[in-house]
Chains A and B, each alone.
Chain A
Amino acid sequence: MTGLKSFKEAGQEIITYTLQSGIRCFVLPKKDFKEKQAMLCVNYGSMDTEFKIDGIKYATPDGTAHFLEHKMFEDEKMNIFDEFTKLKANVNAFTNYNMTAYHFSCRENFYESLGLLAGFVFAPYFTEENVEKEKDIIIQEIKMFRDVPSWRIFFNMQSKLYKKLPLNKDIAGTEASVRSIDKDMLYLCYNSFYRPDNMALICTGDVDRFKINDTIEKIVLKQDNLHTEKIYGIENDHVTSDYIEDTMDVSANIFNIGFKDNESDTDKLKLMNLTRVLLDMFFGESSDFYSDMYTKGLIDSSFASQYVSSFAYGTSIISGMSSSPEKLRESLFAYIDKQHNKDLSVRFEQIKRKQLGMYIRNFNSVDLLTNIQADLYLKNLNIIDIINNLKELKYEDIRERAVTHFRKENNVLSVIKPL
């Protein structure tokens, strides 16, 4: 075990270190909670379709990371779900752009369940037959999401915001890409990315890190070095088009307004806090913009904003339903223009305090703590960094972010209209 560090803030501690095998560990103690969770994160997501191993370049079908996630639950001898249930634990997994995560929650048998989790993630069992069978199931998953308006609107927006990064593609791939995946492809990707030094383990609840280490070290051994390099295109600051429209069987116009980060936006920690505070200041429910648009009937209570980011990208998304998304976007830009000359320092302090309260509130939930830390791990951050950084935010930084982030050149309006 190396590099042990501990941080504490607002009653929440986080301990981080690296195990012999190379797995990065984050332990978040929650003494009074009965629920315990563990999440094993693999630094491999739907974006990672092209990579080099020891200098040799590979291009893999869209949806391979997600396919792997499905197939890891396959075991030659047992039903993994049954085994977890026997231990009174709930197991599940997800794949996003950057990561595949396997997690369970329980109230007892934590270390046994942890052993089971690490055991199945480090024991792939792919056969031609079980890989073939999974394809129909995954295709139904793809089709299910295709009927969800918010899903479709988001990927449409991404397709105009990003040109080089594969962010416009469904996490699960397409029907054709899924059909083209075979057992050998899964093993290639598994062996390239499912390596201890490419993983993190997050454990939250009333747990003992020494027992965690013992459990993991018995199962996960250090592997020989392998040089894996992910290949991404380089984005520029512009979008390919500022508007995209689609139709679905919906009741009204649904929209996403997206702003993407510039290439020069590299301090991800600061950007996350800055952008969240800024979005809340400008477009939150207590903003004069919200109230004005609501009164004019241009938005309803579904109006919301969020900032999503990883090491490679960052996007602000303003979403909701509107009688006229085009008019709303115009009003939004007009509003932003006016803000540049106003003194918003009081509002800045109020929203900063609110955001701080929201982080502390998250400490109430074992589930949220685990998920937030999983997302931060890939950015090499932890939950305490976020709070400390938030406290240090300066009003001048917000002013600057408002100017550099909300521009017409990096903006897309994605709309779904009724048929």
Chain B
Amino acid sequence: MEIITVEKGTEINYIHETKFNTSVICLLIRRPLSREESTFNALAVNILKSGCRKYKNIEEINNHLDEMYGAVFSGIIVKKGEEQILQFYIDVLNESVENGLYKKAAEFLKNVVFEPLTDGEGFLQEIFDIEKENLKQHIKNRINDKSEYLKLKTLEKACEGEPFGIFADGYYEDLDKIDRISLYQHYRKIIESSQIEIFTLTQNKENLEYLKRNFALDRKVNVPITEGIMVQTKTEVSRYNENMNISQGKICIAVKTGVPAFGEEFAALLVLNEVLGGSGNSRLFSIVREKHGLCYNIHSFVYRFKGIMMIQCGVEKENIEKTIEIIQGIISEIKEKGLWENEMEIAKTGIINSLESISDFPSSLIDFYATQLFAGDPRDIEAFIALIQKVSEENVNNMAEKMEVHTVYSLS
């Protein structure tokens, strides 16, 4: 990856990969995650997507995208560690199909992000009202996907008092405190002062010059990026249960390790996670599903910036407590007795496989490098793989000892 400075506060991260038949530009506006700002930013993204000075409504925006051979565009909020990212992503076919698509895409992103539709004072009332209602509904919709909802609730409890526990897509009760003018003022402030990262993939390197000119906007950037906070783990497990009208009980367990988002310890955490619940070969899968037949799906994954490992599964309601006990038993066993034969090798292979496949997907490549940048880890995919390969059994055993079951949340 090559970094090209556009101006103070704006950088292009150019990923060398020419095999794709599409080009991508992904623009990230970095904000510290805070309750005060979270809802403002979430609403702003939705309003920007609904119209800009050049394309005044969703119909015009989408017609323009269709004309570019169906360019794929999205504007979303992403939470990376304790940052709230306003992400704008566009993917267009390569120049071999039609010349100038890349430039059109770059211009379009600039239109949407930097030239919003306003009356000078604020966003337009009509668009503001619609998007406010939509965001309200979106927040209410969190409950519809039970397993996502459970994850959110578990994180909220596990990270209480830390910025990471804040919902990045906003709060229902905060929406009524925002009006079209205060939102526009806020947006102007962040667009002028935030660090912006532009990730791009293109076959034609000459496009980069254009990209640079396009986004040289003479901004006055001054916001330092906040350091993540890790709250010390505690000894007592917090237990929550919520009753719902569902067919299957669902469990989510947050395990804290306090491990930073890069370096050898993090690599060991990834290996440990893979052993525990990363795949169909994992301990959780083979014991909870295959041995006890308690569930169909069980897996674990890592929240990189928080050193949190999360375990999720769905079981009969009356088996919830029994399953939690079994999972805790598996965690204790790995702490006390370490790895089984072959587990290390299988886990490393699994992680390396997924790292290697990143380079076959434009969006995964961008996500990998963006995450690396935010984590302050300069390693590319190869170097990351080398780091995984170096993890020793001792590293994993040490990591296992750091595991503290922090929050257990269930839906029944």
Q: Is B93 interfacial (CB-CB < 8 Å)?
A: yes
Are B247 and A143 neighbours in the complex by a CB distance under 8 Å? yes
Q: Does A68 sit at the interface, judged by CB under 8 A?
A: no
Q: Which residues of B lie under 8 Å from residue A32 when comparing CB positions?
A: 19
| Inter-chain contact A300/B246, CB cutoff 8 Å | no
Q: Report Cα–Cα, A419/B316, bound state, in Å.
A: 22
Inter-subunit contact B360/A366 (CB<8 Å): yes
A141 to chain B, nearest CB (A): 4
Interface string of A264-287 (1 = CB under 8 A from B): 000000000000000000001111
Q: Is B100 an interface residue (CB 8 A)?
A: no
B-binding segment of A80-88, A159-167, A235-243, A383-391: A80-88
Q: Which residues of B contact A353 (CB under 8 A)?
A: 66, 69-70
Report the contact-size class of chain B (Cβ under 8 Å from the partner): 35 or more
In the docked arrangement, what's the CA distance between A106 and B356, Å? 10
Q: Which residues of A contact B62 (CB under 8 A)?
A: 284-286, 290
Q: Determine whether the beta carbon of B316 is less than 8 Å from that of A140.
A: yes
Interface mask (B325-362 → A, CB under 8 Å = 1, otherwise 0): 00000000000000000100010011011001101111
The answer on a CB contact under 8 Å between A86 and B346 is yes
B55 to chain A: closest CB distance in Å?
Answer: 11
Q: Which residues of B contact A136 (CB under 8 A)?
A: 293-294
- A250–B293 Cα distance when bound, in Å, is 29
Binds B, one of A219-227, A291-299, A335-343: A291-299
B281 and A140 contact, CB distance less than 8 A: no
Bound-state CA distance A85–B346 (Å) is 6
Residues of chain A with a CB closer than 8 A to B386's CB: none
Q: Is the CB of B141 within 8 A of A321?
A: yes
Is B357 in contact with A107, judged by CB distance below 8 angstroms?
yes
Task: List, in ascending order, chain B residues with CB within 8 A of A365's CB.
Answer: 360-361
| Residue total for A at the interface (Cβ-Cβ under 8 A) | 65
**Which one of A354-362, A393-401, A407-415 contacts B?**
A354-362
Whether A77 sits at the interface, judged by CB under 8 Å, is no
Q: Please indicate the chain A residues that have their CB under 8 angstroms from the CB of B140 in the complex.
A: 251-252
Q: Are B69 and A354 closer than 8 Å at their CB atoms?
A: yes
What residues of chain B lie closer than 8 Å to A134, measured between beta carbons? Answer: 293
B58 contacts A35, C-beta separation under 8 Å: no
Q: How far is the CA of A137 from the CA of B342 in the complex (A)?
A: 26
Contact (Cβ within 8 A) A250 B134: no
**A360: contacting residue among B21, B133, B145, CB under 8 A:** B21
Contacts of A286 in B (CB 8 A): 59, 62-63, 65-66
- Which residue in chain B gives the minimum CB-CB distance to A416? B144
Closest B residue, CB atoms, query A82 = B281
CB of B183, distance to nearest CB on chain A (Å): 19
A35 near B346 with CB under 8 A, answer no
Known contacts A33-B19, A365-B361, A144 near B293 by CB under 8 Å: no
Inter-subunit contact A149/B66 (CB<8 Å): no
The answer to whether A88 and B130 touch across the interface, beta carbons within 8 angstroms, is: no
Q: Which residues of A contact B67 (CB under 8 A)?
A: 350
A78, B248: Cα distance in complex, Å? 32
A138–B19 touching, CB < 8 Å: no
State in angstroms the CA–CA spacing of A354 and B20 once bound together: 18
Which residues from A are CB-within-8-Å of B97?
Answer: 357, 360
| Distance, CA A11 to CA B93, complexed state (A) | 13
A288 within 8 A of B: yes
User: What separation, in Å, do the CA atoms of A287 and B61 have in the docked complex?
Assistant: 11
A140's partner among B63, B93, B144, B294 (CB-CB below 8 A) is: B294
Given contacts A136-B294, A140-B294, A144-B297, contact A34 B58 (CB under 8 A): no
Indicate the member of B19, B57, B69 with the most A CB atoms within 10 Å.
Answer: B69
Chain B residues with CB below 8 A from A380, complex form:
none
Q: Chain A, 291-332, contact with B by CB distance < 8 Å: what is the 0/1 string?
A: 100110100110000000000000000000100000000000
Query: A16 at the A/B interface (Cβ < 8 Å)?
Result: no
Q: What residue of chain B has the Cβ atom nearest to residue A247's Cβ?
A: B245
CB distance from B174 to the nearest CB of A (A): 18
Taking a contact as CB atoms under 8 Å apart, the answer to whether B314 and A144 are in contact is yes
Question: Which of B146, B352, B362 gathers most chain A CB within 10 Å?
Answer: B146
Closest chain-B Cβ to A247's Cβ sits at a distance in Å of: 8
Measured CA separation A89–B248 after assembly (Å):
32
- Indicate if the CB atoms of A251 and B144 lie closer than 8 Å: yes
Residue of B nearest to A80 (CB): B280
- CB-nearest residue of chain B relative to A299? B134
Interface residue ranges of B1-47 to A (CB < 8 Å) = 19-22
Q: Of the candidates B22, B58, B93, B353, which one forms a contact with A290 in the assembled complex, judged by CB atoms under 8 Å apart?
A: B58
B317 to A, closest residue via Cβ: A143
- Closest B residue to A355 by CB, please name it: B70
A86 pairs with B349, CB closer than 8 A: yes
Q: Is A133 an interface position by the 8 A CB rule?
A: yes
**Contact flag A147-B247 (CB < 8 Å), given A140-B296, A291-B58:** yes
- Which chain A residues lie closer than 8 Å to B205 at the CB level? none
B residues near A138, Cβ cutoff 8 Å: 296
B143 touches A419 (CB 8 A): no
Query: A297 vs B130: C-alpha distance in the bound complex, in angstroms?
Result: 7
CB–CB B69/A357 < 8 A: yes
Assess whether B248 is in contact with A144, with CB atoms less than 8 Å apart. yes
B320 within 8 A of A: no
Measured CB to CB, the closest approach of chain A to B277, in angstroms, equals: 14
A140 to B319, CA, bound (A): 12
Whether A254 is near chain B, meaning CB under 8 Å from some CB there, is: yes
Interface status of A363 (Cβ within 8 A of chain B): yes
A interface, CB within 8 angstroms of B: 10-11, 32-35, 79, 81-82, 85-86, 88-90, 105-107, 133-138, 140-141, 143-144, 146-149, 248-252, 254, 284-288, 290-291, 294-295, 297, 300-301, 321, 350-351, 353-358, 360-361, 363-366, 419
Known: A34-B359, A251-B141. 4 other contacts (CB 8 A): A105-B357, A140-B248, A291-B59, A365-B361
What are 27 contact pairs spanning A and B, CB under 8 A? A33-B19, A35-B357, A79-B281, A81-B281, A88-B353, A89-B353, A106-B353, A133-B293, A134-B293, A136-B293, A137-B289, A137-B293, A140-B248, A141-B296, A141-B297, A143-B316, A144-B314, A147-B146, A248-B245, A249-B143, A251-B140, A251-B143, A251-B144, A252-B141, A295-B130, A354-B70, A355-B70
Q: Which residues of B contact A (CB under 8 A)?
A: 19-22, 57-59, 62-63, 65-70, 72, 91, 93, 97, 126, 130, 133-134, 137-138, 140-146, 244-248, 250, 279-281, 289, 293-297, 314-316, 342, 346, 349-350, 352-353, 356-357, 359-362
> Nearest 4 A-B pairs (CB), nearest first?
A357-B69, A354-B70, A286-B62, A32-B19
